[in-house]
Amino acid sequence: MGIVLGSNRYGKAETRVVRVDRDGDRHTLRDLNVSVALGGDLAATHLTGDNGTVLPTDTQKNTVYAFARRYGIATAEEFGLLLARHFVDSQPSITRSRIDIEQYAWQRLGGHSFQRDGAESRTATIRYGGTGVEVCAGLTGLVLLNSTDSEFRGYLTDAYTTLPETDDRILATAVDAHWRYATAEPPADGFDAAYEAVRDALVAAFVGTYSRSLQQTLYAMGQRVLTVRPDVVEIRLALPNKHHLLVDLTPFGLDNPNSVFVAADRPYGLIEGTVTRDDAAPALGQW
């Protein structure tokens, strides 16, 4: 039985780059965490230590900084496309690239003053294989809560079931969403506006859905995004169920009419799913 090298990739992870654009007294700030992963003709470096086809990860880091200066950072998606295409198109041994970007939000306090926003982070993933290119945008850590209009009942039970059914509960989650655009071209309204529209659709669906399960809410959120954004062909959602448990106050002679809860951070249910158009082209996928 032989031993062979399987799929592999390498790159520079989590290069922090901040770009400041100065337009008089009003400045614009972009704060990114960029990860590069490259694949291709890399067998020799694994099998014999020959590094002739390896572009150093330090070079990848430097490229991120140089591109931030040379081209600026219009959006995370466009910056990722520049990097993904550059590494494949400039190096014969590199045939595929993946760029993962997390963007940190800052609130403007003045012309050149900002406060770090503690809300969700914006993400982008670019995959490029020389011909096919794929742009996925996303967000992580969007914390949402409905204090009513949520129930959970009618589920399977067995000898180990202790969870009581409820027709009125708190539903809370921290949304992790990634959506794939139909093409790599910027949407007609631009990547920034598209991001805000998708975010608004996710929030609106969460707020407006009477939830019989978090699974139902997940589908409603994905369906809303695909309805309002024809340029999005698929959205993947991961929704942790951030449990809020009713506190027993009877030892203190007090009732608790759904008003006092303990927020439990773990363990938690994790609901994951993909909502897609039935005619969507297959994703390039991970490698």
pLDDT digits (tens, 9 = 90+) for 109-122: 999 898 887 789 99
Considering the domain boundaries, does residue 209 fall inside one? yes
As a whole number, mean pLDDT of residues 52-64 equals 96
More confident residue, 190 or 119: 190
Q: Are 247 and 142 in the same domain? A: yes
> What tens digit of pLDDT does each residue of 195-227 get?
999 999 999 999 999 999 999 999 999 999 999
The answer on pLDDT for 286 being more than 60 is no
* Residue whose C-alpha is closest to residue 280's, from 245, 235, 237, 249: 235
Domains contained in the chain, number: 2
The string of DSSP letters for 199-252 reads HHHHHHHHHHPPBSSHHHHHHHHHHHHHHH-TTEEEEEEEEEE--EEEP--GGG
Question: How far is the C-alpha of 79 from the C-alpha of 81, rounded, in Å?
Answer: 5
Q: Are 184 and 103 in the same domain? A: no
Residue with tokens 């041994």: 93
Q: Are 113 and 182 in the same domain? A: no
Q: Are 142 and 275 in the same domain? A: yes
* Residue whose C-alpha is closest to residue 35's, from 55, 64, 73, 7: 64
Considering the domain boundaries, does residue 1 fall inside one? no
The H-or-E segment that residue 122 falls in is strand 121-128
* Residue whose C-alpha is closest to residue 175's, from 149, 220, 144: 144
Considering the domain boundaries, does residue 259 fall inside one? yes
The answer on pLDDT for 1 being more than 90 is no
User: What percentage of the chain exceeds 70 in pLDDT?
Assistant: 99
Considering the domain boundaries, does residue 68 fall inside one? yes
Residue ending a domain, among 100, 116, 131, is: 131
Report the 10 Å Cβ neighbour count for 225: 24
Considering the domain boundaries, does residue 285 fall inside one? no
Question: How far is the C-alpha of 126 from the C-alpha of 187, rounded, in Å?
Answer: 15
pLDDT of residue 285: 67
Residue ending a domain, among 97, 131, 165, is: 131
Structural domain range at position 106:
9-131
CATH code for the domain in which residue 276 is found:
3.10.270.10
Confidence of residue 287 (pLDDT cuts 50, 70, 90): very low
The answer on pLDDT for 30 being more than 90 is yes
As a whole number, mean pLDDT of residues 238-248 equals 94
Q: Are 102 and 214 in the same domain? A: no
Q: Are 110 and 152 in the same domain? A: no
Q: Are 183 and 220 in the same domain? A: yes
Residue ending a domain, among 82, 107, 131, is: 131
> What tens digit of pLDDT does each residue of 60-76 get?
999 999 999 999 999 99
Q: Out of 12-26, 87-101, 106-120, which region has the weakest mean confidence (pLDDT)? A: 106-120
More confident residue, 287 or 124: 124
Annotated catalytic residues are 12, 57, 243
